[in-house]
Amino acid sequence: MSDSKPSQSSSLDDWLCYLEQIHPANIEMGLERVQRVAEQIGLLDTRSKIILIAGTNGKGTTAQCLEALLLAQGYSVGTYASPHLIRYNERVRINGAELDDQIHVDAFNALEQGRGDTALTYFEYGTLGALHIFKRMDVDYVLMEVGLGGRYDATNIVTPIASVITTVDLDHKEYLGDTRELVGYDKAGIFRTGVPAIVGDLDIPHTVVDYGKEIGADLCLSRRDFHFSEDEVTFSWQMDDYDLCFAQPAIPAQNAATALSVLYKLDLLPDITVAADCLKALKVTGRFQTLSEKPLIVTDVAHNRESARFLAKRLQSFKQQGLSIYAIVGMLADKEHADVIEAMKGAVDYWHVTTLDNPRGTQAEQLAQTLDKQVSVAGAHNSVSDAIEAVLPQLCEQSLLIIFGSFYTVAEAITFFES
């Protein structure tokens, strides 16, 4: 691309390169800039009903569950998620489908024409671009995943009909704080007075509840207002007069329970047979996604303590069936490597580490040094594809390979098997 500003006839790749180039190195915190641009272009004046979804883990699965349950009732739904795995287009869905490049280009062009001299980050462009698309498509409901924290995230400029916190754990500590109470307080910034605030975390920090009460949010709390239980076969959810039982979904039961509770609070809960069919069919890209049946190879975006614990729990069921668990892990430098390995070490028999092809990626040797303090490393590799090729000959019918640690790790794994 030339140094000139892209236009409506430019490609999406040209626009994304441009947005990366103009990304401000130093930018003030707060929502004033992004809200000013949104108001200038008229993005906040919309008939769509918006649900905001924050959380350390589970945002994507909860959003996709809500998406499926709303679509099954005939509503039109726009969904905004980040980051993407392979293509930028994954970030915005209309009725479950990605959009043509030109629709994104049109949105970015409108933003560039309307922002004046206001500086925006890459994520802020993406968020405003999604709002532009949702207004253009005039969808009934919008599901917006919060990018980082909640209080000062660009998504928090909207007026939601419900605010959701899936889970609260330590991640992005340099921005959100180093305790669950601090992280929870930041995420609770998406609550609104008198608006349903659904919290799915199983051990809710008091700061979340305190802030919700302080502003008069309509709190709906896990283990107080709704409950769930599960076994190997079934998942049950209880709230008020409802006591429903479903087949075990492919997503964490906690996220399914949170999604059902959101819809109950909004008087949008579908018929039980519709809900059961949706949960049974639900699959989320990059979340315990099967890449190969023989040998059994699975990939998962688990990259922090809580998600690693959940992944380890799923792997333990395979170990109990007599399978040997091989792991390829690649992580970003700003993640808590030791916490993730601590959560996973009991579930994995053979460890391999890999360098990620990303400026933020950790080198395999550095990751191996961290692992060596807790587990034995069988191999260090220059890329995810190199690691897969090295491990494949070691696999048999009684083994499972899990590839995890980052969205980038999963993306490379998916690309390897697609090609």
Domains of the chain as residue ranges with CATH: 12-281 (3.40.1190.10), 289-418 (3.90.190.20)
Closest to 256 in 3D by CA, of 286, 226, 232, 290: 226
Residue 2 predicted with pLDDT over 50: no
Predicted pLDDT at 27: 65
Instruction: Using the CB atoms, write b or e for 204-241: b if 16+ within 10 Å.
Output: bbebbbebbeeeebbbbbbeebbebebeeeebebebee
Tokens linked to 355:
């360098």
Q: What is the mean pLDDT of residues 63-85?
A: 95
Are 57 and 340 spatial neighbours (Cβ–Cβ below 8 Å)?
no
**Residue 12, CB-side half-sphere exposure with 13 Å CA sphere:** 14
Q: What is the mean pLDDT of residues 229-253?
A: 90
Are 405 and 371 spatial neighbours (Cβ–Cβ below 8 Å)?
no
In which element (H, E) is residue 237 found? strand 234-239
Angle among Cα 419, 96, 171 to the nearest 5 degrees reads 75
Average pLDDT over the chain reads: 92
Instruction: Using the CB atoms, write b or e for 324-334: b if 16+ within 10 Å.
Output: bbbbbbbbbee
Residue 266 predicted with pLDDT over 50: yes
Predicted pLDDT at 178: 73
Q: Sorting pLDDT into bands at 50, 70 and 90, what band is 254?
A: very high
Query: Which one is predicted more confidently, 29 or 14?
Result: 14
Q: What is the CA radius of gyration of the chain?
A: 21
| 25, β-bridge pairs | none
Predicted pLDDT at 1: 42
Q: What is the mean pLDDT of residues 34-62?
A: 94
H-type helices in 122-281, by residue range?
A: 122-137, 173-176, 180-187, 206-215, 253-265, 272-281
Tokens linked to 411:
């993306």
Question: What 8-state DSSP symbol labels residue 222?
Answer: B
Q: Sorting pLDDT into bands at 50, 70 and 90, what band is 125?
A: very high
In angstroms, the CA 245 to CA 257 distance is: 11
Are 214 and 192 spatial neighbours (Cβ–Cβ below 8 Å)?
no
Tokens linked to 90:
């994954």
Residue 297: other Cβ atoms inside 10 A: 24
In angstroms, the CA 64 to CA 282 distance is: 8
Tokens linked to 121:
């980050």
Are 168 and 183 spatial neighbours (Cβ–Cβ below 8 Å)?
yes
In this prediction the pTM is: 0.85
- Residues with Cβ within 8 Å of residue 15, at least 6 apart in sequence: 6, 104, 105, 108, 109
Predicted pLDDT at 167: 93
